[in-house]
Structure 1
Amino acid sequence: MGNSDSLVTLISLIVFITVFFVLAIKSRAKVDSIEIYAVGNKSFSTIFVSLSLAASLTSAATFIINPGFISLYGLSAYLAFGVVMPISIFFALIIFIKKFRKYGVNVKSISIADWLGKRYDSQFLKVFFGFLSILLITFIVLICVGITKVVSKALNVEELYVLITLVIIVFTYMSIGGANSMVYTNSIQAILMVIVAILLIGSGAEYMFQAQGTGLFERLNHIDPMLTKPFNSESPLFRDFFEVVVCNAIVGIAIVCQPHILTKSLLIKKDEQVNKFLFYTIIILILFFSVVFAGFYARLMFPELTMNGEVLKMDGLMPAYVVQRFPIYVGILVILGLFAAGLSTLEGLIQSIPTTITNDFLLPILKGLGISNTNAISVNKMLIVVVAIASIILSYQQLVSPSLSVGIFAQNGVYAFFSAAFVPVFFGIFTKTQNKTIPIIASIVAVITHFSVYYLELTPYMKGMAVKNPAVASALALIISTIIAMIVYVTNPMKNEVAK
């Protein structure tokens, strides 16, 4: 983009952010407790909450980072991120949301850790998952890197300056309004994301309707035959059926067990609205997940993965495609949409992570030390500052020297969290057991298994690999922890007391 184009883009971004500040300030008066900050005041319509959840589930990972995987590895990556994982997520949403909402409303839970602590009457689970939520900062890093790549490319500005400005602005307005501002801003972002998703999906339409032999997959096959194969043996992530289908199906189901996902159901006012909420959410998500197909278009535009003689990193492929593909005013709209895609999940994480660490980790510890008069909102706001600083440091490291992609870094942290959360949430929803041993053992085993497989290279998928697949570590952690939980559940029937 030229200087005038960059100026117009900058003005558009300033206006965009200003709208969110206004919404945050308007909702400020209603945030007078940690509970209202976390889940809002439940005055939202079904469609607003659906848009908010869809936006939170499909972040910069879906709109910016994952298309890069498709550009690099082709059909195998698309099957993993565009087909298998979405279907698993839809299934899990339908199964988990209703059950979680029913219990979450009854016990007034404001986070996954809080829910687990009350469900099993276990202070250990509450504190343990409050601590584990620190792992989700890796997802904040992914979003920050994705947005920074897009904005810096559009404005021709140094990435570090964009990163620092982004973190300061977004963390500030989220600390003002909490869930009340988040649902409204997420909804605006989701509407913009719908428009941009359609533009991105349609941006390569000419490739789909060209003469036989010159279509999209024929051209991809000409660039590299591995790009059109369902399994890419030359990739570090999509080598066979286990990595493409099994791992992503398991991860897709478990991915729903995140604080900023399940707790969205607590924003619905009435139980009879839940089916409509799920229907709207899934329809919107189908469109959003389809955006990863644009990764094929980016590869056709940059067959050698270079732009103006410069080698493109994987995380920079979609930003480069957008800047190159669209005329200025359409390009600005798409850039705002990608910006919105990142903000949608970033806001959810900024709202949920400090809240969880404050309410479920720090406050119980302070209370145990005899410090019981702590102001939760004050602690939460101080923690937001700490998370912001950590996000800048880690994001810059990923901008400078990622291991293939920031997506790998984020997956390792996020997958570890929901690998630990899956069994406790599953048994908490689908059984009446009060046996604390099941969720405690399962969550600990899951964390140990995940990081052992990943860092100790315990399987052929990890052995000697420069880039390791977190989905393999997570899938194995989920399988092993679930089996152990089932064994404990079946062999100790006397301890499986009916929940009170």
Structure 2
Amino acid sequence: MTSAEIFKYVLSGTYVVLVYGLSWIGMRRTKDMGGFAIGNKDMSPYLIGITLAASIASTATFVINPGFVYAHGLSAYVHYGVAGSAGILTAFLVLSRGFLRLGEENKSLTIPQWIYHRYHHRGFSLFFAFINLLSISFVVLILVGCSLLMTGIFPIEQKTALVGILLFVFSYVLMGGTYAHAYTNTLQGIMMLLVTLLLFVQGFKYFDGNIIQSLKSISPGYGAVFNSESNLYYDFFSVFGGGFIVTFALMLQPHILTKVLYLRSEADIGKFIGTTVVVGTLFTLILMVGFYARLAGLDIPIQDTVVREYLLHEFSGSALGQLTLTFIFITLLAAGMSTLDGILVSLSAMVVNDIVTPLSKHQSNGLAWSRWVLIAVGLIGLALAWNPPPLIGIFAQKGVYGLAAASLVPMLFGVIIPKPLPLLLVASASVLALLMHFYLNLFAGVANPAVSASYAIIASCAYTLLGMAWINFRTAR
């Protein structure tokens, strides 16, 4: 066994031991359902900010989205890196304070519970709980992305890698819930920062002193902000508008916005948002790998494998390179797990708190139920990931962007408008957005899920505003 192989197994073992150690600490602090779902409000806002940034910048950012940059060029980078970052910042500036205030008043543990307290209707909160199950599509993306990385570092089949990743992540989340998620995400977030900066600097040589000119050497469209050669990122709306709107809405996902509920008080919001934005913006530099792979002349037929193939091309040639490659692969795996564990915690808490408990006639042990739900989610995710569709990124976007579209009106209007809102109007706007997104994307030829979701969001907002104006007009008469 070579020194590089020994280092690979030692580093992997060290990472596993650290994660389980942090999860053990988390388990000792998790005494009930509240502690499992959002902690005991004793975590630093900086730690929560790193946790959130690592949750947002998951396998999608670190493994899958560089493939879109490889295929579509500058327009894809602007869509994910610029418009997306602006959407994240705006969402937290607009929503954090009001969401935390209402959540604190009613001791909400999940977004559907927040919806119940805001609109006082169990049926609507149940609807929200069920549509949040669309997050499973992102679980599938992460499992597939991590399994592709595992096959690049260990001599195993992809399906074996799928099972191994599932068992590892689920076991440590089962132990510690939110604390395990937050503590391990902080470790993983620091590793992700180091690798992002390393790869950004290492590949910058491919620009040869002129970024735009280098990109245009591939093709004029590849180096343009609006790529006329692309079926996904071809005009202002598909690049900027869709990227901003859908990313703003994506911050309403249960494993993201509920991080606000971890905070002790509104005084921590500034530190929390600042940390999230700085760390998250640095993470977007990993998208450059898509450019580097294209400029290096790599012919990669499967878009989802761009990061893996680029890393093997760049770092397999020497003993030092192989040592570096091992650290990078372990870190990219950590990037996926940092989001996967957050989704699992939020989904299990939501299913127990907002589906099982309201529908059950008997009191149950919520903490035990949440762990059984985790196992069920894992088995469903494994089944869907076993034979994944091509372009797993698009598959995940279809489901998660549908959830984002349906969430925006109830959440945004619920935060910024303090007075009671007409339930029928808000609920119908949510259903309209969900159905319109799926119709446009699946049947009307809108290939980019961000565009179909953004059209649906705009339509649902316009519908809500017109409905409120009509209600006010009728009331005033």
1:186-225 correspondence to structure 2 within 5 Å: 186-210=185-209, 215-225=210-220
| 1:325 paired residue number | 314
**Contact kept? 1:60, 1:146, Cα under 8 Å:** yes
- Give the C-alpha shift of residue 91 in structure 1: 1.3
Residue 83 of structure 2 aligns to a residue whose secondary structure is helix
TM-score (structure 2 length as normaliser): 0.94
> Are the aligned partners of 1:41 and 1:180 in contact in 2 as well (CA < 8 Å)?
no
Unaligned runs of 5+ in 2: 316-320
For 1:228, what is the secondary structure of its paired residue?
Answer: coil
Q: What whole-Å deviation, never above 9, does each CA across 1:319-376 have from its counterpart, x for those lacking one?
A: 111222231222222112211211111110010112112211232222xxxx222322
Instruction: Tell me what 2:318 maps to.
Output: none
Q: Is the 8 A contact 1:42 1:269 kept in 2?
A: yes
**In structure 1, distance between residues paired with 2:35 and 2:429:** 31
Equivalences for residues 379-418 of structure 1 within 5 A: 379-398=369-388, 401-402=389-390, 405-418=391-404
Asked whether the equivalents of residues 433 and 456 of structure 2 are also in contact (C-alpha less than 8 Å), the reply is yes
Letter of the 1:91 counterpart: T
Matched to 1:387, the amino acid is V
Question: Are the structure 2 counterparts of residues 236 and 362 from structure 1 closer, same or farther at C-alpha, using a change threshold of 3 Å?
Answer: farther
Give unpaired runs (5+ residues) of structure 1: 306-311, 463-467
1:465 maps to which residue?
Answer: none
Q: Given residue 239 of structure 1, which amino acid in structure 2 is its aligned partner?
A: Y
The CA deviation string for residues 125-150 of structure 1, in whole angstroms up to 9 with x for no partner, is 21011111110001111111111111
Report the counterpart of residue 350 of structure 2 in structure 1. Answer: 356
The question of 1:248 aligning with 2:243 is answered yes
Q: Does the CA contact (< 8 Å) of 1:6 and 1:156 recur in 2? A: no
- Calculate the aligned-residue CA RMSD, in Å: 1.9
Is the contact between residue 424 and residue 438 of structure 1 (CA under 8 Å) also seen in structure 2?
A: no
The reply on whether 1:378 has 2:378 as its aligned counterpart is no
- CA–CA distance in structure 2, aligned partners of residues 195 and 5 of structure 1: 20
1:234 is paired with a residue of what secondary structure?
coil
Distance (Å, rounded) in 1 between the aligned partners of 2:299 and 2:371: 46
1:3 positional shift: 7.0
CA distance in 2: counterparts of 1:244 and 1:26, whole angstroms: 43
Q: In the TM superposition, what are the counterparts of 1:455-470 in structure 2 within 5 Å?
A: 455-457=442-444, 461-462=445-446, 468-470=447-449
State the distance in 1 between where 2:61 and 2:425 align: 34
CA contact (8 A) 1:427 1:433 kept: no
Q: Is the 8 A contact 2:312 2:325 kept in 1?
A: yes
Judge conservation of contact 2:357–2:363 (CA < 8 Å) in 1: no
Name the CA distance, whole Å, in 2 between partners of 1:373 and 1:203: 56
- Stretch deviating more after TM superposition (347-356 or 434-443): 434-443
TM-score, normalization by structure 1: 0.90
Once the 2 structures are TM-superposed, how far is the Cα of residue 473 of structure 1 from its aligned partner? Answer: 1.6
Question: 1:495 and 1:162, CA in 2 relative to 1: closer, same or farther beyond 3 A?
Answer: farther
Matched position secondary structure for 1:372: coil
Q: Distance in 2 between matches of 1:65 and 1:248?
A: 16
Q: Determine if contact 2:56/2:256 at 8 Å carries over to the other structure.
A: yes
One-letter amino acid matched to 1:380: S
Shift of 1:32: 2.5
Deviation at 1:232, TM superposition (A): 2.1
Classify the secondary structure of the residue corresponding to 1:82: helix
8 Å contact 2:189–2:335 — kept in the other structure?
yes
Asked if the contact 1:49/1:277 (under 8 Å) is kept, the reply is yes
Aligned CA distance change for structure 1 residues 36 and 494 (closer, same or farther; 3 Å):
farther
**Residue type matched to 1:350 in 2?**
L
Partner of 1:422: 408
2:144 maps to what in 1? 145
- Write the letter of the residue equivalent to 1:315: D
Deviations 1:405-454 (A, max 9, x none): 11101111110111111100111101123221232111111111111112
Q: Equivalent pairs: percent with the same residue?
A: 31
The Cα shift of 1:487 comes to 1.7
